[in-house]
């Protein structure tokens, strides 16, 4: 291993390919052990209208300046437990991008029962929601433990059942770990017995981020990956179907290590910065955010050097993305040098 204290050479160049505006509007009622989002219970006092106005202004700017390839995204969360007026606002912002927002994520919803739950679903269906998305980590109590809420698996099943009976669809994200793998047949049988259209189903390991970084021992290994039943293998999602171990990722990552990293820049919007964002030209906001990202990367060695210092060619645990493996190296770099990882 090289001297971790030596000077940083040639940090990665960052190119902003878009902005993703984030509003912490709806607190989360889960405490998932694999949560990627820290402080999921912290909300903002910023009224919705200010957020929507800001994002719409960026769409106006994008159109007026012909930035066809610049992406404008939103994240309103961390849960989708929106009031109807917020739901309609989110739908308007999707429509401005030419997309339709029709699927509500069940992660982090407060518990509702009986008629209250039925009315909640009916209200969303009337507003244009056509389905729900569930994330499940195992079956029954194993899922409940991963999600930090007793009874959550049964609750999610009850929502999906009620929705299916109303003609609504469901999308499923199924986490694959060493302790959920033995439960997969039972999980798939339970899901297959639900009424309603299955609009999408995929299985995947956790991303390496947030709290999930604590569960490296739960990752599948190359051997497990190579012997998965066909019923699971066919659930690898098109976008993240490259399940490689660290030792397999390393040569792939080194092929493009000197290329600039293109990122959608995240921008948290809240009551403390809305005034600045409202009075500052869009170009300046983008340039400033790009500069902040670049500065945070300037403190980090280039990818090839990170790999030389921290890459583990013996690691046969499976990751979905090269970013996951890089995240591991950045954590090791922080442990060695105290340098925080770059903005992500």
* 28-36, 85-93, 166-174, 247-255 -> range binding ligand SF4 (CB under 6 A): 28-36
Q: Which of residues 299-338 bind ligand SF4 (CB under 6 A)?
A: none
Q: Check binding of 32 to ligand SF4 (CB under 6 A).
A: yes
In whole angstroms, how close is the CB of 110 to ligand SF4 at the nearest point? 12
Which residue of 18, 89, 108, 301 would you call a contact of ligand SF4, by CB under 6 A? 108
Which residue of 19, 23, 26, 35 would you call a contact of ligand SF4, by CB under 6 A? 35
Task: Give the separation between CA 223 and CA 176, rounded to whole angstroms.
Answer: 14
Q: How many residues does the chain have?
A: 344
Task: Give the separation between CA 204 and CA 302, rounded to whole angstroms.
Answer: 28
Residue 28 and residue 169 in contact, taking contact as beta carbons nearer than 8 Å: no
In whole angstroms, how close is the CB of 32 to ligand SF4 at the nearest point? 3
Q: Check binding of 78 to ligand SF4 (CB under 6 A).
A: yes
Which residue of 37, 90, 142, 188 would you call a contact of ligand SF4, by CB under 6 A? 37
Residue 114 and residue 120 in contact, taking contact as beta carbons nearer than 8 Å: no
Tokens of 139: 């079956």
C-alpha closest to that of 138 among 172, 183, 178, 191: 183
* 27-35, 89-97, 255-263, 290-298 -> range binding ligand SF4 (CB under 6 A): 27-35
* 1-9, 32-40, 114-122, 222-230 -> range binding ligand SF4 (CB under 6 A): 32-40
Our CB check for ligand SF4 shows the closer of 107 and 301 to be 107
Our CB check for ligand SF4 shows the closer of 77 and 342 to be 77
Our CB check for ligand SF4 shows the closer of 79 and 245 to be 79
| Integer angstrom CA distances of residue 284 from 51, 141, 198, 289 | 18, 50, 44, 8
Q: β-pairing, 318-319 with 244-245?
A: antiparallel
Our CB check for ligand SF4 shows the closer of 70 and 207 to be 207
Task: Give the separation between CA 206 and CA 176, rounded to whole angstroms.
Answer: 7
Q: Check binding of 50 to ligand SF4 (CB under 6 A).
A: no
Tokens of 199: 């609009």
Which residue of 107, 138, 205, 301 would you call a contact of ligand SF4, by CB under 6 A? 107
The single residue listed with the structure tokens 């899901």 is: 191
Tokens of 327: 């995240």
Q: Where are the alpha helices (DSSP H) in 172-256?
A: 184-192, 222-226, 230-233, 246-255
Q: Check binding of 136 to ligand SF4 (CB under 6 A).
A: no
Q: Check binding of 30 to ligand SF4 (CB under 6 A).
A: yes
Torsion of CA 232, 161, 85, 38, to 10 degrees: -40
Our CB check for ligand SF4 shows the closer of 147 and 294 to be 147
Which residue of 14, 21, 26, 40 would you call a contact of ligand SF4, by CB under 6 A? 40
Query: What DSSP element (H or E) covers 19?
Result: strand 14-26
Residues that bind ligand SF4 (CB under 6 A): 28, 30-32, 35, 37, 40, 78-79, 107-108
């Amino acid at each position: 291993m090289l001297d971790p204290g030596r000077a940083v050479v040639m940090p990665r160049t960052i190119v902003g390919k878009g902005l993703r505006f984030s509003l912490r509007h709806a607190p989360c009622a889960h405490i998932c052990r694999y949560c990627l989002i820290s402080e999921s219970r912290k909300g903002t006092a910023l009224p919705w209208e200010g957020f929507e106005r800001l994002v719409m202004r960026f769409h106006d700017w994008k159109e007026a300046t012909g930035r066809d390839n610049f992406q404008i995204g939103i994240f309103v969360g961390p849960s989708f437990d929106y009031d109807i007026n917020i739901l309609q606002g989110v739908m308007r912002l999707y429509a401005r991008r030419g997309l339709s927002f029709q699927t509500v994520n069940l992660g982090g919803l407060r518990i509702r029962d009986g008629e209250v739950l039925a009315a909640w679903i009916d209200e969303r269906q009337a507003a244009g929601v056509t389905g729900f998305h569930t994330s499940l980590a195992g079956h029954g109590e194993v899922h409940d433990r991963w999600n930090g809420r007793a009874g959550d698996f049964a609750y999610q099943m009850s929502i999906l059942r009620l929705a299916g009976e109303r003609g609504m669809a469901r999308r499923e994200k199924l986490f694959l770990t060493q302790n959920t793998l033995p439960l997969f047949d039972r999980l798939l049988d339970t899901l297959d017995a639900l009424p309603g259209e299955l609009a999408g189903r995929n299985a995947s390991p956790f991303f390496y981020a947030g709290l999930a970084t604590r569960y490296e021992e739960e990752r599948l290994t190359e051997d497990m990956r190579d012997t998965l039943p066909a019923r699971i293998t066919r659930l690898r999602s098109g976008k993240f179907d490259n399940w490689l171990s660290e030792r397999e990722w390393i040569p792939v990552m080194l092929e493009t290590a000197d290329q600039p990293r293109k990122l959608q820049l995240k921008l948290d919007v809240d009551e403390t910065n809305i005034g600045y964002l409202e009075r500052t030209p869009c170009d300046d906001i983008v340039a400033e955010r790009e500069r902040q990202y670049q500065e945070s990367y300037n403190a980090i060695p280039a990818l090839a050097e990170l790999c030389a210092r921290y890459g583990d060619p013996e690691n046969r645990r499976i990751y979905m993305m090269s970013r996951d493996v890089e995240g591991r190296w950045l954590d090791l770099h922080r442990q060695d040098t105290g340098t925080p990882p770059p903005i992500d």
